[in-house]
Chain A
Amino acid sequence: MDELIPLLPKLATATYETLYIVALSLVFGGVGGLVLGLGLYTTRPGSLYPNRPVSAVLNILVNVFRPIPFIIFLAAAQPLARLVVGVGIGNSAIIFTLSLAAAFGISRIVEQNLMTVQPGVIEAARSVGASRLRIIGTVVLPEALGPLILGYTFVLVALTDMSAVAGLVGGGGLGTFAIQYGYRQFEPVVTWAAVIVIIVFVQAVQALGNWLARKAFRR
């Protein structure tokens, strides 16, 4: 226990860095995934903008990138990170790569959740003269809001998991903290402290997600 006390400020910083990395990745990856997911959903046959070629391209794109293990993706995408955010290492690089990887994963979650929307309600909206764009904004997304919130909660937890390897490219956060001060120094108590912070965080996120989803479902 004594070895942990002097490290507490570092643990606080690491916690803040994890929150920062995860939050920004959720924003960028979440928006990217939403757009990509809407693309997958709307271009399906019989959907609002059926388009076989576009649908095929999007599907191939998602199927190629989604299964790559994040630790490999992080290394492989480093040149791209350097190109886009200017640096290949540190928190900016990890946020960029995490957002990119998350977007592919989220797109499928979005697509699947949007597919639960009853075709009948879309037909009802079309029958009163609503435009397709309006239908996406005022019918499709609101009707799928409950499952979407649960999907994004799942993603947030997954991002916390993925962010732990940030140390590989010189990023910070709880993963880096646990490896550097716990594992390398043979101090399991320090590692466990990081684990406990992550557990608390994940529990809080899941509880919040469930609560919001329940409000959306009104159940």
Chain B
Amino acid sequence: MPLVSLRDVRKTFPSATRGAPPVTAVDGVDLDIEAGEVFGIVGYSGAGKSTLMRLVNGLEPVTSGSITVGGTELNGLPERELRRLRIGIGMIFQQFNLFTSKTVRGNVSYPLRVAGTPRTEIDRRVDELLGFVGLADKAGSHPEQLSGGQKQRVGIARALATSPRLLLADEATSALDPETTHEVLGLLKRVNEELGVTMIVITHEMDVVQTLADKVAVMDGGRVVEQGDVFDVFSAPQQPSSRRFVSTVVRGVPSADEQAVLRARHPGRLVTLSFHDAGSTQAEVFSALSRAGLGFELVFGGVNDIRGRVFGHLTLALTGPDAVVEQALGTLPDGVTVTRLPNGDVRG
């Protein structure tokens, strides 16, 4: 049975302006999140990602539909029971949301106090947690004395204090620089792998999905438009709106504007070769083009590694007689998809 299960979940907010129709933030979402996995949620701003996450720990009640966490139905659960459920669900935030009036120790011990853990046990547990996140020497510091990365590590320690089975992370690295992001992602990976904590991770950063997530859902306008294995969704998105989103984080087939720039700079036929999960084909493609006597130049694209599986989209400018180009493209190995970019002056 999945740890978290959503069925036809809807959430509407009354509109801010009187008389206007209510805002539908989540619009009929079905999701299953298995214990132990890291589930990514991506999508444009306003897609309803944060709202969806806040439904999972009952910070907002659903308007309709069913959410179960560990077999407990949240819809209609009284506040008391919801609070008890939340003790078993950690949450971390983009802006860290540490209590500025408390020390690091005070922050990390807070959930334990709420849970009614005995005092001596609290001290032991806080030391253990601070050791885990590498801040053993910062117990007495106040949040404003810490760097962004350290703050988020305190946030993670606080979220893990009660040993939750599920951790919710809403843009947890979006306020951090790339190096610190890397550090925090490494920590979150340990949380999943060493502690076995299931995670739901909202992000707009490819890095996060790439290093952490097993599965991913793309949200648009309150709906999940596509979900599946991270590799499948990012290497070959099926829906137009997920394709559009993926193209913002993965360099795929160049857009019309990008094509215009490329054409102005490079003579020859522009083709995009899409590679899918096959290490050797790139070398085969390049030797095939060489054998045909074509000139080629790599002008756009990139290669992505998602947990050891590789995909990429490389746009080449090929120079040589048209017939030879066509013939060479026809003999490319399987596993390479060819997209011929329009040659004409589409945009004048």
Residues of A within 8 A of B83 (CB): 129-131
> Given A142-B99, A142-B101, A143-B101, does the pair A129, B115 have CB atoms closer than 8 Å?
yes
A143 touches B114 (CB 8 A): no
Partner of B99, one of A124, A127, A131: A124
| Overall SS of chain A's interface | helix
Q: Is B190 interfacial (CB 8 A cutoff)?
A: no
A121 touches B86 (CB 8 A): no
> Given A142-B101, A145-B101, does the pair A130, B95 have CB atoms closer than 8 Å?
no
> Given A134-B114, A138-B110, A142-B102, does the pair A126, B86 have CB atoms closer than 8 Å?
yes
Residues of A within 8 A of B100 (CB): 121, 143
Beta-carbon contacts under 8 Å, B117-176 to A: 142, 144, 158-159, 161-162, 168
Q: Is A198 interfacial (CB 8 A cutoff)?
A: no
A124 and B92 alpha carbons, distance in the complex (Å):
8
B89 touches A121 (CB 8 A): no
A43 and B111 alpha carbons, distance in the complex (Å):
25
Partner of B97, one of A120, A134, A142, A218: A120
Query: Please, what's the 1-or-0 string for B167-211, where 1 marks a CB less than 8 Å from any CB in chain A?
Result: 010000000000000000000000000000000000000000000
A121 touches B59 (CB 8 A): no
A129 touches B86 (CB 8 A): yes
Residues of A within 8 A of B113 (CB): 138
Residues of B within 8 A of A130 (CB): 83, 110, 114
B114 touches A121 (CB 8 A): no
Beta-carbon contacts under 8 Å, B55-114 to A: 57, 59, 83-87, 89-91, 93, 95, 97-102, 110-111, 113-114
Closest-CB distance, B166 to chain A (whole angstroms) = 11
A123 and B93 alpha carbons, distance in the complex (Å):
10
A134 and B113 alpha carbons, distance in the complex (Å):
11
Closest-CB distance, B84 to chain A (whole angstroms) = 6
Count, chain A residues at interface, CB 8 A: 20
A129 touches B87 (CB 8 A): yes
Closest-CB distance, A111 to chain B (whole angstroms) = 19
Residues of A within 8 A of B86 (CB): 126-129
> Given A121-B98, A142-B101, does the pair A127, B114 have CB atoms closer than 8 Å?
no
A126 and B111 alpha carbons, distance in the complex (Å):
10
Closest-CB distance, B321 to chain A (whole angstroms) = 63
Closest-CB distance, B153 to chain A (whole angstroms) = 15
Residues of A within 8 A of B162 (CB): 128
Query: Please, what's the 1-or-0 string for B32-60, where 1 marks a CB less than 8 Å from any CB in chain A?
Result: 00000000000000000000000001010
Interface centre among A124, A126, A131 (most CB of B within 10 A): A124
A162 and B144 alpha carbons, distance in the complex (Å):
39
A143 and B90 alpha carbons, distance in the complex (Å):
22
Residues of B within 8 A of A126 (CB): 59, 86
A124 and B90 alpha carbons, distance in the complex (Å):
9
A120 and B155 alpha carbons, distance in the complex (Å):
12
Interface centre among B87, B91, B101, B159 (most CB of A within 10 A): B101
A145 and B101 alpha carbons, distance in the complex (Å):
8
A62 and B24 alpha carbons, distance in the complex (Å):
36
Closest-CB distance, B342 to chain A (whole angstroms) = 49
Q: Is A139 interfacial (CB 8 A cutoff)?
A: yes
A118 and B98 alpha carbons, distance in the complex (Å):
10
A128 touches B59 (CB 8 A): no
A218 and B86 alpha carbons, distance in the complex (Å):
32
> Given A134-B114, A218-B142, does the pair A124, B91 have CB atoms closer than 8 Å?
yes
A120 touches B93 (CB 8 A): yes
List the interface of chain B (C-beta within 8 A of A). 57, 59, 83-87, 89-91, 93, 95, 97-102, 110-111, 113-115, 142, 144, 158-159, 161-162, 168
7 examples of A-B residue contacts, CB within 8 angstroms = A126-B59, A128-B91, A128-B115, A128-B158, A128-B162, A139-B101, A218-B144
Task: Given contact pairs A127-B59, A129-B86, enumerate 9 new A-B contacts (beta carbons under 8 Å).
Answer: A125-B110, A128-B86, A128-B90, A128-B158, A128-B161, A131-B83, A138-B113, A139-B99, A145-B101
